[in-house]
């Protein structure tokens, strides 16, 4: 059994870096023809701009798989989050997914077939301090997920979300440069470490594929067990933190 997407066309937003780029590579490895819609692609595509996104969907042609992944973050305490930053992040993380779902649905509904995967987050559930705007957008995405799954299921279109924990990309590189921070952060992660973009991309490829044919409206945590382990897993009695991960002594 393998993930087979041969003959399928896929569009990935935010496909030039990080999780999106890994998703592009994973879907290609499964045989799909993949288009990246990204501000840093050629031509650039802005998911906050419906016309720009619509043009990208037209260039890609009728798509079978769509990954709504483009996103960003604003790091600031609630009362220091500026109104422009709040509005910008809503437009990107929530508006971008909304516009992507609209374009995807318009192409997929007449064909009675399609699979959409959204990049949500563990922050869809958790109120991580300093990320009020981010957390609000990622929680909001679940509302879009559930509605889209309900409305599009009758047309043979599945909609699912991945919820990554801390994954090493340029978005999080600052955190990966702080061993003391990582040590505390990863104390609560049963697998004792952060994730790599490929580890999210593999789940995206699975959810996008016919192997997930009876899965829709679902969220898949890809977090090393973080959300299952509120009370902490690792301590110095039995384990040590080496460079960027916890390991048993």
Ligand X SMILES: NC(=O)c1ccc[n+]([C@@H]2O[C@H](COP(=O)([O-])OP(=O)(O)OC[C@H]3O[C@@H](n4cnc5c(N)ncnc54)[C@H](O)[C@@H]3O)[C@@H](O)[C@H]2O)c1
Residue 17 makes contact with ligand X by CB under 6 A:
yes
The yes-or-no answer on residue 134 being catalytic is yes
Q: Kindly tell me which of 109 and 130 has the beta carbon lying closer to ligand X.
A: 130
Q: Kindly tell me which of 86 and 155 has the beta carbon lying closer to ligand X.
A: 86
State how far the Cα of 103 lies from the Cα of 59, in Å rounded to an integer: 12
Query: For 105, how many CA atoms within 13 A lie in the half-sphere containing its CB?
Result: 18
Subset of residues 27 to 86 that bind ligand X, contact rule: CB under 6 A: 38-40, 45-48, 69-72
Subset of residues 132 to 171 that bind ligand X, contact rule: CB under 6 A: 164, 166-167, 169-171
Q: Is 189 within 8 Å of 223 (Cβ atoms)? A: yes
Q: How far apart are CB 39 and ligand X at their closest, in Å?
A: 4
Residue 209 makes contact with ligand X by CB under 6 A:
no
Q: Kindly tell me which of 32 and 94 has the beta carbon lying closer to ligand X.
A: 94
Q: Kindly tell me which of 16 and 107 has the beta carbon lying closer to ligand X.
A: 16
**Residue from 11, 18, 158, 233 binding ligand X (CB under 6 A):** 18
State the burial class of residue 120 (Cβ atoms within 10 Å of its Cβ: 0-12, 13-18, 19+): buried
Tokens of 222: 């890809």
State how far the Cα of 120 lies from the Cα of 31, in Å rounded to an integer: 25
Question: Which range binds ligand X by CB under 6 A, 2-10, 11-19, 153-161, 213-221?
Answer: 11-19
State how far the Cα of 86 lies from the Cα of 95, in Å rounded to an integer: 12
Q: Which DSSP string corresponds to 149-163?
A: HHHHGGGTEEEEEEE
Mark 168-187 with x for binding to ligand X (rule: CB under 6 A) and - for no binding.
-xxxx---------------
The residue among 29, 47, 23, 49 whose CA lies nearest residue 115 is 23
**Residue from 115, 121, 219, 233 binding ligand X (CB under 6 A):** 121
Q: Which helix (H) or strand (E) holds 241?
A: strand 239-242
Residue 126 makes contact with ligand X by CB under 6 A:
no
DSSP bridge pairs for 195? 167
Count of residues that interact with ligand X, criterion CB under 6 A: 28
Interface with ligand X (CB under 6 A): 13-14, 16-20, 38-40, 45-48, 69-72, 92, 119, 121, 164, 166-167, 169-172
Active site amino acids: 134
């Amino acid at each position: 059994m393998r993930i087979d997407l041969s003959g399928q066309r896929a569009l990935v937003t935010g496909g030039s870096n990080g999780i999106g780029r890994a998703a592009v590579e994973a879907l290609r490895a499964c045989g799909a023809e993949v288009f990246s819609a990204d501000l840093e692609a050629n031509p650039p595509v802005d998911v906050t701009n419906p016309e720009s996104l619509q043009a990208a969907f037209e260039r890609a042609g009728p798509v079978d798989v769509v990954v709504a992944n483009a996103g960003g973050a604003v790091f600031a305490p609630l009362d220091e989050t500026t109104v422009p930053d709040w509005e910008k992040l809503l437009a990107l993380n929530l508006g971008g997914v909304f516009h992507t779902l609209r374009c995807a649905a318009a192409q997929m509904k007449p064909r009675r077939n399609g699979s959409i995967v959204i990049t949500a987050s563990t922050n869809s559930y958790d109120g991580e301090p300093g990320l009020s705007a981010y957390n609000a957008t990622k929680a909001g995405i679940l509302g879009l997920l559930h509605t889209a799954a309900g409305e599009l299921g009758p047309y043979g279109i599945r909609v699912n979300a991945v919820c990554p924990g801390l994954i090493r990309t340029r978005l999080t590189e600052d955190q990966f440069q702080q061993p003391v921070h990582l040590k505390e952060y990863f104390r609560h992660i049963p697998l004792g470490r952060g994730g790599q973009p490929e580890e999210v991309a593999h789940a995206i490829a699975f959810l996008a594929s016919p192997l997930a044919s009876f899965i829709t409206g679902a969220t898949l945590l890809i977090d090393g067990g973080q959300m299952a382990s509120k009370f902490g897993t690792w301590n110095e009695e039995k384990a040590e933190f080496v460079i960027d991960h916890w390991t048993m002594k």
